[in-house]
Chains A and B, each alone.
Chain A
Amino acid sequence: MSLVHIPALLVLAAGSFFLLVGSIGLIRFPDFYSRCHATGKSDTLGVMLVIFGLVLIEGLTLNSAKLLLILAFVGLTNPAATHALAQAAFRFGLKPWFRKPPSGRPPDRPAEES
């Protein structure tokens, strides 16, 4: 166990913490758009941190170059996929959830209607 392992293990632990937070947000938030917010950002940061920690452990090899490619790919495509899904859900007809109704309308909570 060399000296670079200590920050690498810290980064790995932080990444798995962000993955856990994204999962909890996915089941706890009230409607689809806030769930997009949870899983689109926390999961991306968590995956990028875990892959960066693995790069630190692996060292300067061909495998770590491929790992950096995966890191860049995930950082580009995961928010893009979440954004595409959110736009498709808006066209699908899902309404955002408000704590108070905007203008006297009765409160609609899309998470509880059938």
Chain B
Amino acid sequence: MFEHSFFVILASALTVIIFIPLYRVLAGPHLPDRMLGAGAIGTKTMVLILLIGFIFDRLEMFVDITLAYAMLNFIGTIAMAKYLSSRRKGKP
């Protein structure tokens, strides 16, 4: 029972931590800063999904979701980098 409340506290703290890079996404001075903030949010969301799986005691489902989410996060960041390398700063 103690570990369950610890998981709830940790997931709540992680929800607060996820909102910190959102400032960089909203107020980033350049385009790569926003992309980096989006990638950081995705990485922390992965951990939050795992903790939710432990809280609801349905880990066998949430582990697969986390694996797919990790792959999607990686592919998304690579796609953003590919898009970014085809642009120049200052040009629209």
Q: Contact residues of A with B, CB < 8 Å?
A: 1, 5, 9, 12-13, 15-16, 19-20, 22-24, 26-27, 32, 35-36, 39, 43, 46-47, 50-51, 54, 57-58, 62-63, 66-67, 69-70, 73-74, 77-78, 80-82, 84-85, 87-89, 91-94, 110-114
Write 23 A-B pairs (CB below 8 A) sorted by A numbering.
Answer: A5-B3, A16-B10, A32-B36, A35-B33, A47-B46, A47-B47, A50-B51, A51-B47, A70-B50, A70-B67, A74-B43, A74-B70, A77-B74, A81-B39, A82-B39, A84-B77, A87-B81, A88-B81, A88-B84, A89-B30, A92-B31, A93-B88, A94-B32
CB pair A50 B81 closer than 8 Å: no
Contact B84 A92 (CB under 8 A): yes
Seen from chain B, the residues whose Cβ lies within 8 Å of a Cβ on chain A are 2-3, 6, 10, 13-14, 17, 20-21, 23-24, 29-33, 35-37, 39-40, 43-44, 46-47, 50-51, 54, 59-60, 63-64, 66-67, 70-71, 73-74, 77-78, 80-82, 84-85, 87-90
Interface pair B20/A26, CB less than 8 Å apart: yes
Alpha-carbon separation in the docked complex, A112 to B63 (Å)? 42
Pair B89/A92 contact, Cβ less than 8 Å = yes
Measured CB to CB, the nearest residue on chain A to B1 is A1
CB contact under 8 A between A22 and B40, given known A9-B3, A35-B33, A74-B70: yes
Q: Are B10 and A12 in contact (CB under 8 A)?
A: yes
- List A contacts of B47 (CB < 8 A): 15, 19, 46-47, 50-51
Q: Do A93 and B21 form a contact, CB below 8 Å, given A39-B40, A69-B67, A70-B66?
A: no
Q: Are B39 and A51 in contact (CB-based, < 8 A)?
A: no
Shortest Cβ distance from A76 into B: residue: B74
- Closest residue of chain B to A49, judged by CB? B47
CB distance from A34 to the nearest CB of B (A): 11
